Structure 1
Amino acid sequence: MKRRNFLTATTLSLPAMALPALGNDVAAKPKTMAKGFFIRANESRFGSEQKVMNNDLLRCVIANSDAGSQVLMGTTMPASLKQKGGPPLHIHKDQEEIFFVVSGEFLIQIGEEVFTAKAGDAAFIPRGTPHTFANPIENNPGTLIAMHVPGTAQMEHYFQNIAKGIFKEEAATDLSVVGPPISLP
């Protein structure tokens, strides 16, 4: 085969050789639920099991297993916003986090900067970035949504404990405390 014909044949066959690789990429995507679901305001889905809540501090809206470990989504509940304060400054080395303020007012710290966040405001925190949030108002009527991408079963279990009022110093999860909570007056 002449060199020119060989190069032409090789070049033309490259797209065909890529097809099996494309098929493998599609097959490697995580599976999600076969059927969608609807969740009411008084329900939570920890472990993909939908239950009515009883004075929980946090609410799981999309469980880790609901979305093939791609996202974990939770919200604050009125019981968690009776007092001012929030978690310590921390990082997630393997997850991005997104905050979205549905209503009320919250403080969100990203790195050294603290933002006052009101309804409609959002924050994106890349993995490895120190961050936290705080409730600056007693009996805050607000709601804050937090999403972890990708989601993990360990993080969901950690939130499930907090929802029950169990605050463990150490947790087997992608969370490392790197500083104090936001200072409030």
Structure 2
Amino acid sequence: MDSDHYVVLGLPSGEEGARLSDKEIAKAYRVKALELHPDKRPNDPNANIFFQKLKASYEILRDRKTRKEYDYRLRARRDRTEEIAEIRAKHKRKQEEELASRNAKRRAAAATPPPMPPPGWREENEDGPWKSLERFQAYEDLVLGNMRRAAERQRMAQRGTNGNGN
């Protein structure tokens, strides 16, 4: 179902089109047929195609059983389209709410001050982490120096000397 047969005949579609009488449909077909007939449009290469579409639409709407089935399908398609539009709108609202929530959380996080240090905590120096790093490196040098001296004493003991060259 790629086109609305009521629209092809120049009639209103949907519930209004479903209430049209057979006479109204036949009259609309005759008016459109005079307008779209290939003899009336000799310079239009698509005139025959448009006229065939018009005839097919009229055939569908002329037969009561086929028209009833077509109206049912048209109504179902319209309902699905409305349902899809509702789902999309609902999804869009949900996305917008989530985005607004995330933005509010970000603004709140940016507005809150940094946490206070625990009670009893004091900074030992004003240079911050760099001074601590220097102290750690001095401690590391001390420990490594002690380890080197201990290793050297151990090597000397294995050689049998006590460090005075004898």
TM-score range, shorter chain: under 0.3
Compute the TM-score of the two structures, normalised by the length of structure 2. 0.25
Larger relative contact order, structure 1 or 2 (CA cutoff 8 Å, min sep 6): 1
Structure with greater proportional helix content: 2
Compute the TM-score of the two structures, normalised by the length of structure 1. 0.23
Structure with greater proportional strand content: 1
Task: Point out the structure with max Rg over C-alpha.
Answer: 2
